[in-house]
Every structure is written in C-alpha cells, then in structure tokens.
Amino acid sequence: MDELTRDNLTILNTSGGLKWDEPFFAYTSGSIGPNYVSSESVTRDSNSYYLAIRSMQKVVERWSVGKDEKIEYITGGQSRDWLFSEPLARKLGGVTHVRLFKNGDVEKNIDMEGKTVIHVADLNNEGHSIRNLWIPLITQANGNLGAVFFYVDRMEEGNKALNRDKITHDSVVKLDSEVWDYMLREGVVDEDSYRNIMARREDPNGWAERMLKSDKGLEHLITLLKNPHLMSRAWKVVNEGYPSMTPELTERLEKRGYVNPLSN
C-alpha cells in the first residue's frame, strides 16, 4: 500500500469518513452493509481537503502520462461529486469544469464535441450513477470519456461493474482487503468489525439476509424507521434492497406496529 493511500486513510478516519459502529448501514441503493463511507468528510478541514484534491491530481496525472490527448473537460455529477471535480479542474489548469445534473441537464448545454473528458466522483459504491446517468450525459454532449476517477472506491459491486463494462477508472483510496488488513493491524478497526466487513465482501447478499433475519438486524431496522432522516432509506431496504425478503420483513415489522407503505 502506497503513501498516498495511507495519508488519505488517515484523513478519512480522523474526519469521521469511515464508520463501522452500527449493526448495519442502509445505503442509498437499498442494500445494507457493515461499514459506511462519507468522502465529503474531508472537506471539513482545509488541510485535509487540500491533500485530498492534490492526491486526486496525482492519480489523474499518473493516468495521463504518455497519452497524446489533452484533458479538455472534467465532469462531476450532482452534487457531492462537485466537491472534488471543481477544485480538481482548477488545480489541473486549462480544463473546463462541467456540472451534470440528475434531471439530465448538462451545465450551459456545453457541447464537448470530440474532446477528451474525465469524470470525477466522490465515491464508487455500486456504479449505478456512473453507468446510468453520467456517462450517457457525457456521450449526449459528444464528449470522449477518457476515464473515471473516484476519491474512494469501495472495491465492491461498482468496481466489478465498471470492469465488466471496460470503463477505465482509478481512485485515491481503494477499500480492498489489503486496506482492511492494514487497518486491523494498526488497531483502527476491531476484529469483530473486520470479520463482518470481510464476510460481507465475500457474500454481500448472504450477509445482508442473515443480518436482516436476526433480532439485532430487525431492531436496528426499527431504529432507522424511527429516524425521520433515515426512514425512507429503511423502507427502501425492505421494498427494494432484497425483494425475496420483503414479505417476511413486512410481516415482522407489522407485528411491531410498523406498516409497510407499499403493502396492499
């Protein structure tokens, strides 16, 4: 593991960007996992933020060595991506930053005809936004995608999906087994959390189903339902994350007084 990764792991941990202190975390996709990543946490401290952007610059420059084409545009998707894509464009110099919006708009209807574009994002989870939203918008604007760069890559389904689609990508922090082994040795992550994280990496659906079937998992799901800020995510876990479990979870929750809003 290189120095760049170690330095950025440090600022992620000190800023609260990596968490594993709950039975599970509900992700925006509807799936669950034993750890949570918040890349934007590094923006809370100016020195950490500078290091993060400088690190992304190094990764992009490493990719561009020996290439004839010049990067003309950097795109970022609404809205956390902009925390990384805009300052990186300024750092590289001579590059135009273009905001991409979830409603399908491209900033100022810019036409990137035949120009080399790199897309910059805060985090690679499952790769849905990259493949289904941002790359189609770049294509629509006639840009030639060179590569996608993340500040953090969870090195899970999103990484596999980009590899399957043969989309060139790289990241500053790759949360692979080597990184988790390192954090275990350094005493950053405890052994129980480490085993949980490794079990989920080995079998994401199996781990999730075991967790949601357990009493501990149900209690935590109810805790999320009680939180107005997380309630919608919790119901998304029930209704979209693991469809085969929807009837069982709905029944168990109804016994506790929580009625599934999508139940008939």
* Residue 182 scores a pLDDT above 90: yes
Write the pLDDT tens digit of every residue in 219-237. 999 999 999 999 999 999 9
* Residue 264 scores a pLDDT above 80: no
Q: Look over the chain and give the mean of its residue pLDDT values, rounded to a whole number.
A: 96
Q: What is the pTM of this model?
A: 0.94
* Residue 121 scores a pLDDT above 90: yes
Please give the full DSSP string across the chain, using - where no structure is assigned.
Answer: --HHHHHHHHHHHHTT-EE--SS-EE-TTS-EES-EE-GGGGGGSHHHHHHHHHHHHHHHHHHHTT-SSPEEEEEEETTTTHHHHHHHHHHH-S-EEEEE-TTS-BGGG---TT-EEEEEEEEESSSHHIIIIIHHHHHHTT-EEEEEEEEEE--SHHHHHHHHTT--EEEEEE-SHHHHHHHHHTTSS-HHHHHHHHHHHH-HHHHHHHHHHSHHHHHHHHHHHHSTTTHHHHHHIIIII-GGGHHHHHHHHHHTT---TT--
Write the pLDDT tens digit of every residue in 148-171. 999 999 999 999 999 999 999 999
Write the pLDDT tens digit of every residue in 41-77. 999 999 999 999 999 999 999 999 998 889 999 999 9
